[in-house]
Amino acid sequence: MRQERIGIIMHGVTGRMGMNQHLIRSVLAIRDQGGVVLSDGTRLVPDPIIVGRNADKIEALAKAHGVERFTTDLDGALANADDTIFFDAASTQMRPGLLRQAIDAGKHVYSEKPVSESLEDAVAIARHAKAKGVKNGIVHDKLDLPGLIKLKRLRDLGFFGRILSVKGEFGYWVFTGDDLTPQRPSWNYRAEDGGGMVSDMLCHWRYVLDNVIAPVKSVSCHAATHIPERLDETGNRFRATADDAAYATFLLDGLEGEIVAHINSSWCTRVRRDDLVTFQVDGTHGSAVAGLHKCLSQHRVNTPKPVWNPDQPQVLDFFDDWEEVPDNTVFDNGFKVQWEQFLRHVADDAPFSYTLEEGAKGVQLAQAGYQSSKERRWVDLEDLGI
């Protein structure tokens, strides 16, 4: 079987997500499996070059994982015609400029989200990519979680009947540093550094709701900073200027009528549910609850008939009447699946829906969420016209 190389400039992959999910578990995993099979049987094999500012850090990362190429010279990397894809997982604040630079160098671009801090920049970069004719994509990792794949399968098969509502719970307790070491970086809690729950998570909820349930058309959101002070990585106390929780209600444009979705997102909650994120969909014919991997369903024929009686303890175990949706297939790492899709899109012109335009929609929802919280009102989402 013939092999073909594709060069990938990987910027900002010394951080936790970029290193673990994009470099090691996606691009290097695809390389080590012998590449991605194209429509003519050719195996497309990634050849990454790691780009970053800290020479010692990127050299150590490259040597630890058998990557031959690394550099601190981004301009030089972009000038190399043998590398055709630019990927960015670094700072959101730098992203629009980096993507524009790569697009102007003729590279196809793939990016972590959010694509920018402002809707204006997100729309501009999406339009720029379209005008230059480069292929482009935005990470949408939660769509390839096994739990959400099963949830979408139930929707597509008509299991729910008419969908009425969605309830989402996301988050966990992030330690402040006063007791245990925080498990998230301190910039998450500084608005000036791009932190904030609304900006971080509403871009995810946009593509999840749009693709698994129905398109989002309006949002009402309250952003909160529950913990005003935290300790940073060096043990210094700092004031939290970004929101650490978001309580958002969305109206979705369902095929059979309006759907109400409510999602709580918080770094200030202790988990007592099936997973770190759960989505419950309720419909006229059935309900389902999905986490990262599992999905449990309850059809109307299996629905119990509880009776409200505060004078005696509850006799029903409400967990008993749910059935697990089987895997029925082997699920690969969601980030890797999307990398394979994007590589086929670049080399084989295979379909790829999650462009920078979709990334701009995520920024649009986050911006509308902040506007709603500030003005204490519903905000409608307009067509971006990209």
Cβ contacts of 73 within 8 Å, gap of 6 or more: 51
Residues 358, 361: Cα–Cα separation, whole Å: 5
Q: How far apart are CA 41 and CA 145, in angstroms?
A: 28
Would you state the pLDDT for residue 325?
Answer: 97
Residue 349, phi-psi category: left (phi > 0), alpha (psi -120 to 50), beta (remainder): left
The whole-number pLDDT of residue 143 equals 95
H or E element at residue 149:
helix 146-156
- Say yes or no to pLDDT of 137 above 90: yes
DSSP characters over 122-137: HHHHHHHHHHHT--EE
Pairing assessment for the beta strands 3-11 and 43-51 based on DSSP bridges: parallel
Q: How many CA atoms lie within 13 A of 50 on its CB side?
A: 30
Is pLDDT of 1 > 80? Answer: no
| Residue 287, pLDDT above cutoff 80 | yes
SS3 for 287? Answer: strand
Q: What is the pLDDT of residues 308-345, one digit of tens each?
A: 999 999 999 999 999 999 999 999 999 999 999 999 99
Q: Which residue has the tokens 């949002």?
A: 219
Q: Give the pLDDT mean for 213-231.
A: 98
pLDDT at position 221? 98
Mean pLDDT of the region 176-184: 95
Category of 235 on φ-ψ map: left (φ > 0), alpha (ψ -120 to 50) or beta: left
Mean pLDDT value across residues 255-263 = 95
The pLDDT tens digits for 43-95 are: 999 999 999 999 999 999 999 999 999 999 999 999 999 999 999 999 889 99
Give the pLDDT score at 91.
Answer: 87
Q: What's the mean pLDDT when you consider all of the chain?
A: 96
Q: Write the DSSP string, 9-77.
A: EEES-SSHHIIIIIIIIIIIHHHHTT-EE-TTS-EEEEEEEEE-S-HHHHHHHHHHTT--EEES-HHHH
The whole-number average pLDDT for the span 101-113 is 97
Are 26 and 335 in contact by the 8 Å Cβ rule? The answer is yes
Tell me how far apart the alpha carbons of residues 276 and 82 are, in angstroms, rounded to a whole number: 41
